[in-house]
Structure 1
Amino acid sequence: MSAERRQQLAERLDRLAIELQRREDYLAIIRLQRAYGFYLDKGYWREASNLFAEDAIFEQGVDGVYVGRERIHQLIVRLSGGNPGPGLPYGQLHERFQLQPVITIAEDGQTAQGRWHELAMYGQFYMK
């Protein structure tokens, strides 16, 4: 095999390694979002907020921009009706589906941004 051919193959392997890393990063972000949804469904607000970086930025529709893990935790508790958790009160239903992910990984692979649409069902079962 010629030196030129070896060089071409080495360059191709480098490109494939970068592509593989980006795909693995994408899947890791998807898993992270699924964990977030699971914790929200079950009422584990602290666990959900702990998935965020200390300096994370969370934008909640027109409700505002929340900076930092603790502020995000406060938002999650407020959006849940003030229940401090962990766990949902008896008879409460939270089903939150995160759909249509749009994930952008920075060229250097060090940061990423994502956005999802959420379809949520909330309910309260009462028995008299």
Structure 2
Amino acid sequence: MSEADRIAKLENAVEQLSRRLLQREDELDIRKLQHLYGYLIDKCLYNETVDLFTNDGEVRFFGGVWKGKEGIRRLYVERFQKRFTHGNNGPIDGFLLDHPQLQDIIDVEPDGEIAYGRARSMMQAGRHKDYADPSNPMMGARQWWEGGIYENTYQKVDGVWRIKVLNYLPQWHADFETGWANTRPEYVPFPTQTFPADPTGPDELIADSWLWPTHKLVPFHMKHPVTGKEIVAERWQGDIDRAQARTAEPAV
């Protein structure tokens, strides 16, 4: 091998290693971003949460889409902050809202500007009886579980990764005392009106929204790493028959 060939080979190896290193650094930065989202929303730091998004970002949540920084602020500050913490940007005594971020899988596009992530949250939430407001249904004493899946999109802006689309799909809810086997229908009602008819509502409604005990696969952003095929799930016909039977049952 000539000296020129050896140099070219080394330069190629350095280029490949640099590209792989940058990809791993991007994955770590995105993972930190997603985990920070969990820490911020845990402590009801809603103003700081909004700052994690791109200016044209959006949040897809509970059957609605909140678009742009204005829409995202409407969700986190005008809706969550006022309902959960009396307008306080930060935790308040007696209110629990833990959002651990788990099982995150990050895939960065070859251009290094867009990335996709899938993660899970297993939330514990509630309000202590000594801090309940019986006159306000949103401020009553209660404790519940929530499990959900994220399928998010991230964008690097001026060298800093931000959330472009936070697509959070709650999978199930349960009262702490009775568990998920007894979850009542519409445990959390989906929005039915958009902004401005609903002052804190979404800009758009999502038609195909569901909650436990309905159970579907949240589509994966990536293909199967071994087979290279799309990851899909069959829909058990018995679920459909059971749902139709419940609908057809006469009222008593």
Normalising by the residue count of structure 2, what TM-score does the alignment of the two structures yield?
Answer: 0.46
Q: Which amino acid aligns with 2:64?
A: G
Q: Which runs of 5+ in 2 are unaligned?
A: 132-252
Residue of structure 2 in register with 1:89 after alignment: 92
Give per-residue Cα distances to partners, 1:64-92, cap 9 Å, x unaligned: 23221231232234356724331133200
Residue of structure 2 in register with 1:98 after alignment: 101
Tell me whether 1:117 sits opposite 2:127 in the alignment. no
In the alignment of these two chains, the number of paired residues is 127
Residue of structure 2 in register with 1:69 after alignment: 69
Alpha-carbon separation, structure 2, partners of 1:81 and 1:101? 30
Q: Choose between structure 1 and 2: higher helix proportion.
A: 1
Aligned sequence identity (%): 32
Residue of structure 1 in register with 2:7 after alignment: 6
Q: Secondary structure at the match of 2:122?
A: strand
Residue of structure 2 in register with 1:38 after alignment: 39
Rg larger in structure = 2
RMSD: 2.0
Larger deviation, residues 6-15 vs 104-113: 104-113
Task: Give the deviation of 1:4 after TM superposition.
Answer: 0.5
Normalising by the residue count of structure 1, what TM-score does the alignment of the two structures yield?
Answer: 0.86
Higher relative contact order (CA 8 A, sep 6+): 1
Alpha-carbon separation, structure 2, partners of 1:66 and 1:115? 20
Give per-residue Cα distances to partners, 1:15-55, cap 9 Å, x unaligned: 11011001001100111112111111111101011111111
Q: Which amino acid aligns with 1:68?
A: G
Q: Which amino acid aligns with 1:120?
A: M
